[in-house]
Amino acid sequence: MITEIIEVLAKITEMDKNNIPEEEAAETIQRESKYNKNTIAAAYSWLHEKNRQDLNYKALKNNNESKSIRMLSNDEVRQVGIRNYDYLLHLYNIGLLTNNDFEEIMDELELFPEESVKTENINILILSKFLDLDKWSLPGSRHLLYSTDNIN
């Protein structure tokens, strides 16, 4: 399930980068893949929330964030694994991960035992960036509700 969500997030980000409208992208993803509407809707919701949090973060940081990405040493690549490093770089290149996300994930992966990092671990760390619990509000928080919304 976690891998599916990351795949949908990556596809949505890639289509957004190619200026494909959201409705068309959602229909294309659902038609061409095995993902259901709920997974696609959740992915869009998390992307929207993360983009909003990134904008808040940039406003607080005075735009001094580095535009370059850190290249890993041979020891770091060996610990993470070349396939996992390529996977992270791919997600960074399509825009799913920011510089800060990439750095934080790499810092967290250094805590794993050597050569034991799996794609599932990376996917969980990526989702933790979308469900960032140390931010001001959780995804779907009360201040995002409108007067016309119903709470079950």
Please indicate, yes or no, if residue 26 is contained in any of the structural domains. yes
Total domains, the chain: 1
pLDDT along the chain (152 residues), means of 10: 81 85 82 79 81 72 65 85 90 87 88 83 86 54 54 58
Please indicate, yes or no, if residue 149 is contained in any of the structural domains. no
Structure tokens at 64: 């001094």
Please indicate, yes or no, if residue 151 is contained in any of the structural domains. no
Please indicate, yes or no, if residue 51 is contained in any of the structural domains. yes
* pLDDT at residue 59, rounded to an integer: 66
Q: Domain limits at 111?
A: 2-141
* pLDDT at residue 75, rounded to an integer: 86
Report how far residue 135's alpha carbon sits from residue 100's, in angstroms, rounded to the nearest whole number.
14
* pLDDT at residue 8, rounded to an integer: 83
pTM for this structure?
0.70
What does the angle CA 18 – CA 21 – CA 27 come to, to the nearest 5 degrees?
105
Please indicate, yes or no, if residue 148 is contained in any of the structural domains. no
Report how far residue 3's alpha carbon sits from residue 34's, in angstroms, rounded to the nearest whole number.
12
